[in-house]
Amino acid sequence: MTATAPGRETDFVWRGRFASLVEGYDGWRIPRIDVEEELDRAQRVVVVDPLSFPWDALRPRHERKPLVICIDDDDVAEVVDAVIGAGGLASRITPFDTVLRDRAELPDALAAPAPAPFGKDQFLVLVEHLATELDVVGRTFGLEAPLVSVHGTSTRPFEGWLEARATARRAEPGAHGCAHAAVVLLLDDAPTETADVRAAIDEAMRALTPGGSLVVVGDVVTAPGGPARPWLSELCTVVDAAAGGAVSVEEIRAVRWPGEILTRGVLLRYHALVLSDDGGTA
């Protein structure tokens, strides 16, 4: 069932109906517990035949492993969605996973380097935190799905994650001005100077409307010898100055990234105050 070729030795490869090429394969006799053990040991999961793959053996602890899946037919995708259940295949696919529409592309896909440096496990942690915050924003304003625009990152691929993991609607670029919308600012992975942080926050503030929410995520604790990061106090000062003091802090949460010993991120959620006619805030 598992094979080293054509991927790496650390890959778990499920060939299913396409196993005739593997000598001695008899997938139907292998107990399910062995599949879980193999998945535990693997660093990447490759599903060549999604119809026969035991999806219930893919536990939540395996979600952090990059997934390569071959779906060459829309009917196959529908069947897989029905087997997986709520959310379907889209709930398991992240930008760190690969969906192939042609099985012939498999060797090239497996030979490609992993989409590091920001790993899938860290991505899932970040998405989980953001989904929680957007859920709070939605409940605060009585919205089923707040309008969200994402700013500030070029290295963290977030295309499609809103639809897959969070109850939110992604705002089209430039379509701002919606009250009670949320603006998510992801500070860059690269070494960040305070001036860069200020520029990114200024850009996000332009998309934020009074009454809306601003979520800022970034690293504020660097490991010894690591790249320079802004201190949390600096970050708070910059946000407050960019907003002219018209924001209130709703959430401060330390975020620990999986696999990182000392590097810490922070999630800040601000509420943009509405200035009343008499100069007060509401």
Partner 1 sequence: MRDLSPTTDKDAASLAMENELLRYETLHLRARLAGVERRLVAANQELRRVSAAPAPGRATAVAAPGPAAAPQVDRSRNDLVWLLRRLDGSAGRWVVRRFSGFRDLKARYLEETP
Site residues, partner 1 (CB under 8 A): 220-226, 229, 231-233, 236, 249, 251-254, 262, 264, 266
Query: Cβ closer to partner 1: 176 or 264?
Result: 264
Give CA separation, 275 vs 204, 269, 270, in Å: 19, 19, 15
Query: Cβ closer to partner 1: 229 or 271?
Result: 229
Query: Cβ closer to partner 1: 221 or 273?
Result: 221
What is the closest distance, in whole angstroms, from the C-beta atom of residue 227 to partner 1 in the complex? 12
165: nearest Cα among 71, 79, 95, 67: 95
What is the closest distance, in whole angstroms, from the C-beta atom of residue 248 to partner 1 in the complex? 11
CA-based R_g, the chain, Å:
22
CA angle 62, 67, 69 (to 5 degrees): 130
What is the closest distance, in whole angstroms, from the C-beta atom of residue 229 to partner 1 in the complex? 7
Query: Cβ closer to partner 1: 252 or 275?
Result: 252
Give CA separation, 119 vs 9, 215, 259, in Å: 19, 21, 9
Query: Cβ closer to partner 1: 82 or 228?
Result: 228
What is the closest distance, in whole angstroms, from the C-beta atom of residue 136 to partner 1 in the complex? 13
What is the closest distance, in whole angstroms, from the C-beta atom of residue 217 to partner 1 in the complex? 13
Gap between the Cα atoms of 107 and 104, Å rounded = 7
Give CA separation, 218 vs 32, 126, 156, 158, in Å: 40, 10, 12, 15
